[in-house]
Structures are given as C-alpha cells and as structure tokens.
Structure 1
C-alpha cells in the first residue's frame, strides 16, 4: 500500500500553490502580520500617508488618472463618514449616547472602527496606485471640474455630519470617563466599607 496517497497529497498535486493547506497557511501568516500592526496606530497612518504621497506624486508626474483619483477620494470620504458616525444612529434608534452630565458614561462606538477604516483606505490607495500602471484606466477628463465637484460634496457631507453631531450632542472621539479626586463628599483614604484596614 505504499503507492496510495492520502487525501492531502492529492490536493497538493492538483493545485499549483500546494493545495488548500499552503493557501490556508499563507492566509494565516497574512492575518498574523496584520494583527501585529493593530496596536501601532500612528505607524499605520504614517504608512498610509506615505503611500498616499507616492500615489499623488505618481499621478502628478503622469498628469493623468484623474478619474481613479476622484473615485479614490469618494471612497475615502465614504469611509470617513462611517468612521464619524455612531454605530447606533440616534435618529433611527433613539438616543443611546449620554446627553446629560449625570448620565452614565458610554464611549463612542463607531459604525466603522479605526482599524477597518485604515485597512480599507490603505487597500484602496494601494489598488489605485497599481491601477496607474495600466494606461487603459487613464481616461482624459477636465480635472478642475472633478476637484470642484469633490470639494462641494465634501463640504455638503461634512456640514450635514456636523449638524447631526450637534443635534444629538456627541463627539466622534471618546476621551474616556472623567475621574474625580476625593473632596468633601469622597473618601480621603483607602478606608471605607468593605476595606480590611
């Protein structure tokens, strides 16, 4: 029975990448490297900014790919809106964010978390950069009109978002719960009910 192959060997021969096992290992490795970048927020955004500068320099040098840049701008604006919007919209679900000083502290939960925002935007800029190597995507357009239209869209969208923030009294950044030091009404030492001292 030495000539018999087990099930895994069969997949290794059929797939040039070495079968589902090697593809799975490659995906695991990619996820591992991606997970290692999660706590490095500043580094991730610096890498994104560098990629965006490289993309901008390439499009400026080529003097083209304005439609790709416009699509990239619209996509990133959409991601920014998801980042600034609460997960539960108070307009539809009712107010869930604390609106008074005595309400319980609840941190701001975004519709689109920061890491997903960065990851989606980074992928989009990278894909946009790779597209600049294919002249078929360089559609000739009058770019000032696209820029003006994008700026109007940005202004109108941000104005609406800021009005929404003011109406429902939320800030899209969680600054943490206020901590108070012991004063007149608070305990001055660690002694109190439940303490063993």
Structure 2
C-alpha cells in the first residue's frame, strides 16, 4: 500500500516539476505568452458568440479580469495610505521626512505581470471548460450584463485614472524618461 502512495506521489511530483519547468522557460517570453493568452481569449469569445449562451460564465470571467487588471495598475504600496500615515505621524511629531523630500520610489505593481498573465490564462481556460458544461448555461438577458459591465468598467477605470493623476504615478513605460548609454 505504501509503495502505491509513493509511486503516485512521485508521479504527481514529476508532473508538477515538468509544469513548473515550462512556466520557468516561458517567463522571459512575455509577448509570446500574451499572444497565446489572446488566442485563448479569442477562442472563448468565439465559443460564446457561436453558441449564443454561457453569458454568465463570460460575465464572471470579464469581472475577474477587470479585478486583476485593476490590481495590475495599482501600486503595491498605495500612496493615499502612505499620505495618511505621514500626516498622522506629523501630528504626533514622529515624522522623519521633510515635506520637500522627492525621493525616487519605483513603481511596484500590486499584481506583477507574470502573475497577471498566469491568472488570466488559467481563468480563460477555466471559463472555456465551463462553456462546455450545460449546467453553467444559465439563461439571462445578455444586453443587461453587457451594459452593466460597460458601466462598471467606465466608473472603475475613471476612479483609477483619477487616483493615478492625484498621486502622479504611471503604471506603464509610456511617457517616462529614458536615458541612453553614452
């Protein structure tokens, strides 16, 4: 009985190591990873459009991707919370920073790119699998879900962009200073 457990555990360990090896090899190839994920996105959208069903699965998937995208755009250390902490420490007289302190703070994402890609790919594969399960095809009036998602996306992104403007951070390389080697 113990040899069967050891054999089974060894088998799962080999599968896990192989899987992790492929993930590690794919890490530097960001463009190819995202191309594969966009192909999965396209297959899932094609499946939804052609079957005219599984709108709840699609809506849930889209909300999950929106949530992850917001985490991707948000800094790991929220400037609004840091500002509150600094103002409370100034009131208590324990602040160590000057008001004119412009120390460089790199943009560190709350959700790193690789984790974002991984979660987006896994969620798309899961949604694609769910689109083949009849139990998950709950009948709904899809235009209401679409309008609600558009409103949710617009309001959420407006709030995120206002936060980015207020605390002056840019989560992408666009518009950032670039220095050349001389």
With structure 2 as the length reference, what TM-score do the two structures score? Answer: 0.83
Superposed, which structure 2 residues align to 1:83-94 within 5 Å? Answer: 83-94=72-83
TM-superposed deviation, 1:180:
7.0
TM-superposed deviation, 1:22:
2.0
Paired residues, number:
165
Would the aligned equivalents of 1:11 and 1:19 in 2 still touch at CA under 8 Å? Answer: no
TM-superposed deviation, 1:59:
1.1
Unaligned segments of structure 1, at least 5 residues = 1-9, 96-101, 183-197
Give the number of the structure whose alpha-carbon radius of gyration is greater: 1
RMSD: 2.1
Q: 1:19 to 1:149 in 2, by over 3 A?
A: same
* Candidates 8, 11, 23, aligned match of 2:2: 11
1:112 is paired with a residue whose SS is coil
2:179 is paired with a residue whose SS is coil
Structure 1, residues 152-192: CA drift from partner, whole Å, max 9, x if none?
0000000000000000000002467643788xxxxxxxxxx
- The answer for the alignment partner of 1:47 in structure 2 is 36
More helix by share: 2
1:94 is paired with a residue whose SS is helix
Select the structure with the greater relative contact order (CA < 8 A; seq sep ≥ 6): 2
- The answer for the alignment partner of 1:69 in structure 2 is 58
TM-superposed deviation, 1:14:
3.8
- The answer for the alignment partner of 1:29 in structure 2 is 18
CA distance in 1, matches of 2:31, 2:51: 30
TM-superposed deviation, 1:23:
1.3
1:144 is paired with a residue whose SS is helix
Unaligned segments of structure 2, at least 5 residues = 85-100
Q: Does 1:106 align with 2:97?
A: no
* Candidates 54, 67, 73, aligned match of 1:78: 67
Would the aligned equivalents of 1:108 and 1:174 in 2 still touch at CA under 8 Å? Answer: no
2:65 is paired with a residue whose SS is helix
Q: Does 1:124 align with 2:128?
A: no
TM-superposed deviation, 1:105:
3.8
TM-superposed deviation, 1:43:
0.4
With structure 1 as the length reference, what TM-score do the two structures score? Answer: 0.77
